[in-house]
Amino acid sequence: MPAVFTTPLRLDLLNFVHDQMRKNSRQPYAVSSKAGHQTSAESWGTGRAVARIPRVRGGGTHRSGQGAYGNMCRGGHMYAPTKTMRRWHRKINIQQRRYAICSAIAATGVPSLVMARGHRVDRVPELPLVLSKEVESLKKTKDAVKVLKAIRAWPDIQKVYNSQRFRAGKGKMRNRRRIQKRGPIVIYKKDDGISRAFRNIPGITLINVKALNLLKLAPGGHMGRLAIWSDSAFRQLDKLYGTRKTGSVKKSGFHLPIAKMTNPDLGRLLHCREVSSVLKSRRMHLQRPGPKVKKNPLKNQQVSYKMYFNLAHIISWTFQL
């Protein structure tokens, strides 16, 4: 098992990096710089008992004398018009990006996370799912379908078929008519025809192990995508991301993130014999001292008794002197 599968699962970091990467594919948009100003207008000034907003010149039409330019006017510009010189893209820390990818890879080997993401892996023999090197030389879709049925991953493809539907909203008018759920991601080392075999199966994403992308490994920022590895790609992971003892061969200066705790089960640690023998016993009925409340001796009989009892002792002591 490659050491990258022991990386801590940092969902907060993965979501942050995913959000920043999504911003790098945005296309700038803005309203026209001439919008709302394509008319001749000038303020009438003061003294006419009307607002000082610029008004359309001329006469002989309802448009003349109407307010123009302002965002409160019909046909005027919007408030704070959008500009194309906005900061659309983001520079991402390379260590954070690599950490997020390692977390996404590690999550593909956790069955509970893969099932929680919605993949049908009830009958899949094991995770991570590694196939022989010969799968990279498949060239026919019918052969790829046979492989998926043999490893019992075909129910996940049927889920994709059943989810195909029309998009709700105006995206239907913008070349985004049909939507469907995500299926498995197939990761290979060398493309000897595998891309031609799997590309026509809906829901499947193909990617080279040397170009792993967080947007493909954790779509929507949700870790735990079902990954199908070729054996040669699986063996490349230690070279790409390193091991516990050695750093990465391909990525300069990168070492795998290590969790602070090797066993995160705190309850088991606290109750084990070695730890509980040196800890103090549990204190029962522990109450924190609250704020002191002044009690009125004229209304509280217990306080008044204490006060007068102490006063009687003081008086008797003074008489003895």
CATH classification number, 3-24+91-241, choose in 3.40.640.10, 3.20.20.70, 3.40.50.2000, 3.40.1370.10: 3.40.1370.10
Query: Is the distance from CB of 268 to CB of 281 less than 8 angstroms?
Result: no
Task: Give, for all 321 residues of the chain, the pLDDT tens digit.
Answer: 999 999 999 999 999 999 999 999 999 999 999 999 999 999 999 999 999 999 999 999 999 999 999 999 999 999 999 999 999 999 999 999 999 999 999 999 999 999 999 999 999 999 999 999 999 999 999 999 999 999 999 999 999 999 999 999 999 999 999 999 999 999 999 999 999 999 999 999 999 999 999 999 999 999 999 999 999 999 999 999 999 889 999 898 899 998 887 777 888 888 888 888 888 887 777 777 788 888 888 888 888 888 877 766 666 666 665
pLDDT in tens, 91-113: 999 999 999 999 999 999 999 99
- The whole-number pLDDT of residue 317 equals 64
Ranges of each domain in the chain: 3-24+91-241
According to the model, what pLDDT value does residue 11 have?
95
Tokens 């090197």: give the residue.
Answer: 133
Q: In sequence order, what are the beta bridge partners of 67?
A: 55
Q: Taking the complete model, does pTM exceed 0.85, yes or no? A: no
